[in-house]
Amino acid sequence: MQKMYSVRKRSLILNIALTSDFPLTATEEVFALMRKRYSHPRIAWIPPFTRTGRERFPVAQEQFAAYGFSTLEYCDIDQEVNEGQLAALDQYDIIYLTGGDPIGFRRNILRSGLSTRLRQCLAAGCLVVTASGGSMQLTKNVSLFRLVNHHLDKVLTEYNEYDALGIVEYEILPHLNRQETSFLEKVRRYSEQIHHKVFGLADGAVLLYMNTNKFLCVGQVTRFHKGEVESIETA
């Protein structure tokens, strides 16, 4: 069965799909949400970096077009920023944040002013769909990514330097099904030291907000909280 969770103290009514690897895994619940609200949506496709974004964009166009979404527009926040496009970002129907290095993604989001624009988009009723490193940007912090290459003590000591947008009040670990057992133990220990929850999303999993402050878990989702690990039964 699907599981619904409440999120407290949210000032925005959220329309968000936080995923691990969409659309590489074509999660139908996400496509259904995109189709439900827009017949031919205009989608802003936002990668963290210009070079890799330009390389990946043609493939992304094909992926989205295969499911009926043909109006995909490249939106740069790195070396080729179009200030006019960013200023009018709330005129798009859907904002899509790709995967990619979440530390560099965070840096370019802050530098380009996208953090403010995303809140404006949500306030205007836009749907925001994210994948992997893009999903981590909407959470409390992106320090989970630093656990890959740094000791836990160092990550915790420098934790406050890696605050994310805080639109949702938890953290996300994407690609849960690809992680080594030793790394997941590190995440469990990390969860002992932070106040909020961590949701691990396997590829194909999604946390869905549908014009509400409650989210629906779909797919393989695991919750880490205060050192406890719990698999959440979902659709």
210 confidence band (pLDDT: 50, 70, 90): confident
How far apart, in whole angstroms, are the C-alpha atoms of residue 37 and residue 211?
A: 11
Classify residue 50 as left (phi > 0), alpha (psi -120 to 50) or beta.
alpha
What would the pLDDT profile of 71-91 be if each residue is shown by its tens digit? Answer: 999 999 999 999 999 999 999
What would the pLDDT profile of 129-165 be if each residue is shown by its tens digit? Answer: 999 999 999 999 999 999 999 999 999 999 999 999 9
pLDDT score of 187 more than 50 = yes
How far apart, in whole angstroms, are the C-alpha atoms of residue 147 and residue 155?
A: 7
Q: Which CATH number fits domain 3-232: 3.40.390.10, 3.40.50.2000, 1.10.10.10, 3.40.50.880?
A: 3.40.50.880
Q: Is residue 131 a contact partner of residue 78, using CB atoms and an 8 Å limit?
A: no
How far apart, in whole angstroms, are the C-alpha atoms of residue 18 and residue 208?
A: 7
Task: Tell me the domain boundaries of the chain.
Answer: 3-232
Q: Given CA atoms 3, 9, 15, 16 in this order, what sign does their dihedral have?
A: negative
Q: So what's the pLDDT on residue 1? A: 38
Q: Is residue 127 a contact partner of residue 15, using CB atoms and an 8 Å limit?
A: yes
The mean per-residue pLDDT over the stretch 5-20 comes to: 71
231 confidence band (pLDDT: 50, 70, 90): very high
